[in-house]
Homo-oligomer: A and B are copies of this chain.
């Protein structure tokens, strides 16, 4: 039985479609929205619609942005000869929040995943290779260390290396603060293989 009302039920159903939001969380969020001022509710709804409507790819790095060229690609303070290849805009923002990286990015919007039918043509790979015609010193591959992320890294490396451009991969290993006994075997092996002299 619909013991709320059509509108509340619809709201909770829509919220429950979001990732990581179950029916209980959706209920909590829904009732919070009903308690918000009408103005705040309008702001939230407009933010959702506006973001979707106004978003496009940066024509250089293909990150999601609202102008033709994203703030990073249009910045003169960045090193445009170093390109970090990431899977998503979210991953790019993770590295940006560190604040140390001064190069630019290339967002693939996915990884090669034959099982899911995603080939090299379905992600922004030819757009990456296109950028290599400009003066590029180094490609840093920062795809996730999943099987697909590794395969994509290998593929990029195979194409880019013959062009005489340095290709590097971010390090795999034990996370800082990680407890050795809680870490999986593959990561432990990677950490050993990637050991550095101190």
Q: Given contacts A20-B28, A32-B19, A38-B52, is CB(A47)–CB(B1) below 8 Å?
A: no
A43: B residues at CB distance < 8 A: 14
Of B19, B40, B41, which one neighbours A28 at CB under 8 angstroms?
B19
Scan residues 1-16 of chain A and give those whose CB is less than 8 A from a CB of chain B: 1-8, 10-11, 13-15
A50: B residues at CB distance < 8 A: 7, 10-11
Q: Given contacts A4-B93, A20-B25, A51-B11, is CB(A31)–CB(B88) below 8 Å?
A: yes
Interface residue? A170 (CB, 8 A)? no
Taking beta carbons and an 8 Å cutoff, which residues of A are in contact with B? 1-8, 10-11, 13-15, 17-21, 25, 27-34, 36, 38, 40-55, 63-67, 70-72, 88-90, 92-93, 96
Beta-carbon contact of A19 and B27 below 8 Å: no
Beta-carbon contact of A11 and B47 below 8 Å: yes
Q: How far is the CA of A111 from the CA of B86 in the complex (A)?
A: 51
Q: Given contacts A19-B32, A20-B25, A66-B6, is CB(A49)–CB(B55) below 8 Å?
A: no
How distant is A56 from chain B, measured CB to nearest CB, in Å? Answer: 9
Q: Given contacts A20-B28, A47-B10, is CB(A72)–CB(B41) below 8 Å?
A: no
Beta-carbon contact of A8 and B44 below 8 Å: no
Q: Given contacts A2-B71, A4-B65, is CB(A42)–CB(B49) below 8 Å?
A: yes
Beta-carbon contact of A51 and B89 below 8 Å: no
How distant is A162 from chain B, measured CB to nearest CB, in Å? Answer: 32
How distant is A48 from chain B, measured CB to nearest CB, in Å? Answer: 5
Q: Given contacts A34-B52, A52-B41, is CB(A3)–CB(B92) below 8 Å?
A: yes
A10: B residues at CB distance < 8 A: 47, 50-51
A49: B residues at CB distance < 8 A: 41-42, 45
Question: What residue of chain B has the Cβ atom nearest to residue A66's Cβ?
Answer: B5
Beta-carbon contact of A3 and B93 below 8 Å: yes
* Interface pairs (6), CB distance under 8 Å: A3-B72, A5-B70, A7-B54, A8-B55, A14-B48, A42-B49
